Amino acid sequence: MNKYWFAVLFAGMFEVVWVAGLKHSDNLLEWAATLIAVVASFYVLIKATQYLPIGTVYAVFTGIGTAGAVLTEMVLFGEPFNYYKLLLIGTLLIGVIGLKIVTGESSDQQELTEKRGA
């Protein structure tokens, strides 16, 4: 996995933070942290899409955000535990990982080479 995929993972983690912040922010400091997480998330995501296939990046980003938000709600905020949710998150993650594998590093390198030559 190259550094741009780590950037997508990082952006996805920031997405989890701001999604939780939208629901649970109660004061100005928490809202400011939520806004910073939104900006950081999309800034890093946009930078990663300059070097990786945008469709795959967005699918991975939203998959990380969705799975992370559901798990964060269950672990940190007392959302009821549900085996069906875990099964569906697992299915989502399998799809996202599969999409990443099918896209592969060769596609990433080819697109990077094309962008540098343009």
- The rounded distance, in Å, linking the Cα atoms of 41 and 61 is 10
pLDDT for the residue 84: 92
Is 61 in contact with 10 (CB distance < 8 Å)? no
Give one DSSP letter per residue of 59-75, joined into a string. Answer: HHHHHHHHHHHHHHHHH
Rounded average pLDDT per 10-residue block, the chain, 118 residues: 88 94 92 96 95 89 90 89 90 86 64 57
Q: Structurally, how many domains does the chain consist of?
A: 1
* CA distances for 27 relative to 22, 23, 31, 46, angstroms: 11, 12, 6, 29
Provide the whole-model pTM. 0.75
pLDDT for the residue 78: 87
Is 65 in contact with 15 (CB distance < 8 Å)? yes
Helix axes 3-24, 28-49, angle to 10 degrees: 150
pLDDT for the residue 114: 58
Q: Domain range holding 15?
A: 3-117
- The rounded distance, in Å, linking the Cα atoms of 38 and 15 is 7
